[in-house]
Amino acid sequence: MTIPRSQQTFSVTCLSAACQKWTFCNIGYALSDRLPSSYKAHLLILRGHMNQADKKFLRRMSGYFFRTVRIDKLAHVLDLPEPESSGRYHRPGQPILYMSPEIEWSIRAVSGYMRADGIRRVVVPLYIDEAFVLDQNDELASSVLGIDPELSKKPWIPALQENREPPSWKNSDLARRYGADGLIDCSRLIPGGWHLNLFRWNEPGAPTVHICGEPIEFRLSVEGNKWDL
């Protein structure tokens, strides 16, 4: 698949047949569909709050996502972060799995880091089966749980460099405490864009996540700004 250079050129390998269909019989609803030629992620969000008291402010979600990783980490796509690692939604030692519902969004989330360190990265297709997540776009849920989406937009790296706690940690702490499997992060770079961050996966009671395709090669444009494709 080729996209005009002004946008981005990707070398794409077809996803495996196992990842070509959706089936959600457990909710009395079945959908079978092939991924479009553009390979944009499919996402199913069942709108409305859960009936169960412990999940009533969470979104139930399944679908295809993309995770951009360093080439040297390709064999560890679903592993826990390094113990000393920290990020916008995880303290050192906390589990987190960052991903996006669009290939382009996944790349843009790390393009600035890639331009800074020059390390080659690839995009890995994932499939998530039934996660209950806190949607920061949901004003009611955020208000009830004490989550302030504006805190998530504040820079986290400068806070750590100044020996301060990133403001976004307050939101992830609250979501974890409530029992959410993860949260939806509103993109600060992409209008209408968002990312999914799982707090737990592939363990009893947690969402199942598996790799469902070959790594997708890409290269960033030479003339692009720091966070461009």
Residue closest to 176 by CA, chosen among 132, 210, 139: 132
pLDDT band, very low/low/confident/very high, at 226 (cuts 50, 70, 90): low
- pLDDT score of 9 more than 70: no
pLDDT at 172: 95
pLDDT at 87: 85
- Of the two residues 191 and 220, the one the predictor is more confident about is 191
- pLDDT score of 32 more than 80: no
In tens, the pLDDT along 91-114 reads 998 999 999 999 999 998 888 777
Distance CA 186, CA 195 (A): 7
Mean pLDDT over each residue of the chain, to the nearest integer: 76
pLDDT at 54: 61
Assessment of whether the complete model's pTM goes beyond 0.85: no
In tens, the pLDDT along 165-196 reads 999 999 999 999 999 999 999 888 888 889 99
Share of the chain above pLDDT 70, in %: 74
Contacts of 229 (CB under 8 A, 6+ apart): 7, 8, 104, 107, 108, 111, 220, 221
pLDDT at 24: 26
Q: Which amino acid is at 131?
A: A
pLDDT at 192: 85
CB distance 21 to 33 below 8 Å:
yes
- pLDDT score of 35 more than 90: no
CB distance 84 to 92 below 8 Å:
yes
Q: What is the distance, to the nearest Å, from the Cα of residue 121 to the centroid of all Cα atoms in its chain?
A: 16
